[in-house]
Amino acid sequence: MLISTASRPVTDVDVTAPDHRRKTVRRSGSASQDSTERALRRFIEGGADGFSADPNQTVAACLDARLTPKSLVLKPTTMARYREYVRNDLVPAFGTLKLDRLAHRHISAFVTSRLTAGRGRTTPTGAQRAQ
């Protein structure tokens, strides 16, 4: 359904959220109807790929939800490092941000701040060096 308010188009659709309740997802603020509909289409396509985030979900909640299943397939030491990185770096930087508001500028600023603070690029492992 397309609803025009003022001069900015708004597109909305009802979706089933992770808690199995129906919620309305709206995409607005774009300069044109086409760009608003593209944003909504990206959201819907993400659901088709198995990504079904509640639009009100925070980055911290998403990271936790994505990390938990990994504990079944990763080594305990790898999981410990992942959890440490999420807890000490990612959650303080992005945790309270709504997931669908996370943008390139946030990630770019985070990477820049980490590099400025002396956190260098990762070094290749033995297998990667051998290639």
How confident is the model over 16-31, as pLDDT tens digits?
A: 565 666 666 665 666 6
Burial class (CB in 10 A: 0-12, 13-18, 19+), 11: buried
Phi, psi of 23 (to 5 degrees): -135, 150
Q: What is the pLDDT of residue 5?
A: 46
Q: What is the pLDDT of residue 79?
A: 92
Q: What is the pLDDT of residue 47?
A: 60
Q: Note whether 109 and 94 are within 8 A (CB).
A: no
Q: Is the dihedral of CA 51, 54, 55, 61 positive or negative?
A: negative
Token digits of residue 16: 């089933």
pTM higher than 0.85:
no
Q: Which residues of the chain have pLDDT under 70?
A: 1-31, 36, 39, 43-55, 120-131
Q: Note whether 55 and 23 are within 8 A (CB).
A: yes
Q: What is the pLDDT of residue 93?
A: 93
Residue 124 per-residue DSSP state: P
List, in sequence order, the alpha helices (H) in 1-131. Answer: 33-48, 59-67, 76-85, 91-94, 104-116, 126-130
